[in-house]
Amino acid sequence: MNDCLFCKIIAGEIPSNKVYEDDLCYAFYDINPLAPTHFLVIPKVHLASAAEVTEETAPVVGHIYAVIAKLAKELGIAEGYRVVTNVGALAGQTVHHLHFHVLSGKELGSFN
Ligand code: AMP
Ligand code: ZN
């Protein structure tokens, strides 16, 4: 997608603080962290949100969760972290490229 901020980050056209990259996904620290550790994991394929995931594209989501588990161990947050993906303006989605927030390092409180 030409005008997508996160596609530009994947392409290296906009700088980011990279955590991890492979053929399917890219991880980088959030520019406005909401917890001591806050990074985003995004698929390299452009999907606007989790609402666009299909049976065809679902494997990349599973892969992203495996990457998150690996990164959590490497970054020392495996004891507790939260994975969040916002869908749509009502949920607070501001960037329309599927992304998984990974938050840790403070008491996150209950979420219900
Ligand atoms: P959401 O509100 O769920 O769409 O989350 C978008 C996230 O992207 C926010 O937490 C922003 O702080 C983050 N963000 C926006 N621009 C950048 C950027 N250039 N580099 C890193 N994170 C960004
Ligand atoms: Zn994109």
Q: How far is the CA of 52 from the centre of ligand 2 (A)?
A: 12
pLDDT, the chain, mean: 95
Report yes or no: 26 and 18 within 8 Å, Cβ to Cβ: yes
Rg (CA), the chain: 14
Q: How far is the CA of 79 from the centre of ligand 1 (A)?
A: 24
Residue 101 carries which DSSP code? E
Distance CA 100, CA 63 (A): 12
Report yes or no: 42 and 25 within 8 Å, Cβ to Cβ: yes
Q: How far is the CA of 51 from the centre of ligand 1 (A)?
A: 18
Distance CA 78, CA 24 (A): 22
Report yes or no: 22 and 67 within 8 Å, Cβ to Cβ: yes
Residue 35 in tokens: 């917890």
Report which secondary-structure segment, H or E, holds 37: strand 37-43
Contacts of 73 (CB under 8 A, 6+ apart): none
Span 37-91, pLDDT tens digits: 999 999 999 999 999 999 999 999 999 999 999 999 999 999 999 999 999 999 9
pLDDT recorded at residue 44? 98
Catalytic residue among 38, 96, 97, 99: 99
Q: Which residues surround ligand 2, an ion (CB under 5 A)?
A: 1, 4, 6-7, 46, 97
pLDDT band at residue 104 using 50, 70 and 90 as cut-offs = very high
pLDDT recorded at residue 107? 76
